């Protein structure tokens, strides 16, 4: 490590340990600190260009060093996070009940860990991992899926009767989590990390493009049932344009968006709407733009309202 890299790591280390960032995932921390550096460049530049830091370097090079140091800090935290999520937050036994080549849940889990590492190595798919990791890692998916199966309403019907998932409710929950983790493959396998837009907005892709990505993703996840890989990719389709897309894909899309900026333990002021209820309320108004299933949003909003989430 060069002298400049050591200085960058020292400066970034102080930012990384800021108490205001506690509770955020490594990728959320990285994203917020990058925004902080870019927005406050004019203020930071005189200090960082001083003799104590980088006196002979232009600001673009200084920013590059700081971003690289940030990436190193995030990567060090991501590896144990992947391990914790795959070991303690989900189970891959659902794969035993799906049509696919013979493979053990352990082998599927190991391959998923390798795939997550690959996704985080590319800038655009790395960004899209934020929501899935928060959703799976914080237990958000567990609590909503539990209420969904207790209610036995629209979402449960779509999972059981339409998608015909004949596995336990816990296994369906793990299936949704796996679908979320595969979702960033759209960015990973897109040219220059930019998926071919469906024309409606930059978040959504066409069914033809989804088919191409599914073929590539299935090669990297050849132990995972292809139906799961397909649903992960299809979560970037618009439900309005693709009304027969898997219910697990529709849930993965909603939960991934919701959890992208999730901050666990955030206190709500008296009289204010709870964070989940507020988010689902706004999402209901913009469901067409994001390609969401409105009926799912209505039910999830109801669950959030009933439970003070």
CA distance 67 to 88: 31
pTM: 0.91
CA atoms within 13 A on the CB side of 113: 19
The 8-class DSSP code of residue 274 comes to P
CA distance 210 to 100: 20
Predicted pLDDT of residue 56: 85
pLDDT digits (tens, 9 = 90+) for 23-81: 889 999 999 999 999 999 899 999 998 888 998 899 999 999 999 999 999 999 999 99
pLDDT at 101 over 90: no
Predicted pLDDT of residue 52: 87
Beta carbons of 249 and 237 less than 8 angstroms apart: yes
pLDDT digits (tens, 9 = 90+) for 169-219: 999 999 999 999 999 999 999 876 555 554 444 579 999 999 999 999 999
Nearest C-alpha neighbor of 41 from the set 52, 33, 51, 31: 33
pLDDT at 106 over 70: yes
State the alpha helices, DSSP H only, in the chain. 3-16, 26-39, 41-48, 59-84, 105-120, 123-128, 130-137, 140-151, 154-157, 169-182, 185-188, 207-220, 226-234, 247-259, 275-285, 287-290, 294-307
208 exposed, middle or buried (CB, 10 Å; 0-12, 13-18, 19+)? exposed
pLDDT digits (tens, 9 = 90+) for 135-172: 999 999 999 999 999 999 999 999 999 999 999 999 99
Domain boundaries, the chain: 1-89, 94-307
């Amino acid at each position: 490590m060069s002298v400049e890299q050591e200085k960058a790591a020292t400066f970034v280390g102080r930012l990384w340990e800021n108490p205001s960032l506690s509770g955020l995932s490594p990728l959320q921390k990285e994203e917020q600190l990058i925004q902080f550096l870019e927005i406050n460049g004019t203020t930071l530049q005189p200090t960082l260009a001083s003799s104590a830091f980088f006196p002979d370097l232009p600001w673009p090079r200084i920013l590059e060093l700081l971003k690289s140091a940030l990436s190193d800090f995030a990567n060090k935290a991501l590896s144990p996070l992947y391990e914790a999520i795959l070991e303690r937050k989900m189970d891959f036994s659902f794969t035993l009940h799906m049509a696919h080549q013979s493979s053990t849940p352990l082998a599927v889990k190991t391959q998923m860990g390798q795939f997550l590492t690959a996704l985080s190595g590319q800038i655009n798919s790395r960004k899209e991992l934020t929501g899935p990791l928060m959703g799976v890692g914080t237990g958000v998916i567990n609590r909503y899926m539990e209420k969904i199966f207790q209610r036995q309403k629209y979402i449960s019907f779509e999972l059981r009767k339409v998608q015909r998932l004949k596995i336990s409710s816990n296994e369906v929950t793990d299936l949704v989590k796996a679908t979320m983790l595969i979702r960033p493959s759209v960015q990973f396998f897109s040219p220059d990390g930019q998926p071919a837009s469906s024309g409606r907005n930059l978040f959504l892709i066409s069914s033809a493009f989804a088919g191409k990505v599914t073929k590539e993703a299935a090669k990297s996840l050849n132990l995972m049932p292809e139906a799961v890989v397909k649903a992960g990719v299809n979560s970037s389709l618009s439900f309005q344009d693709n009304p027969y897309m898997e219910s697990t894909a529709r849930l993965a899309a909603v939960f991934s968006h919701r959890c992208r900026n999730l901050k666990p333990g955030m206190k709500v002021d008296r009289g204010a709407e709870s964070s989940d209820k507020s988010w689902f309320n706004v999402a209901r108004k913009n469901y067409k733009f994001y390609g969401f299933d409105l009926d799912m949003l209505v039910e999830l909003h109801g669950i959030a309202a009933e439970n003070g989430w």
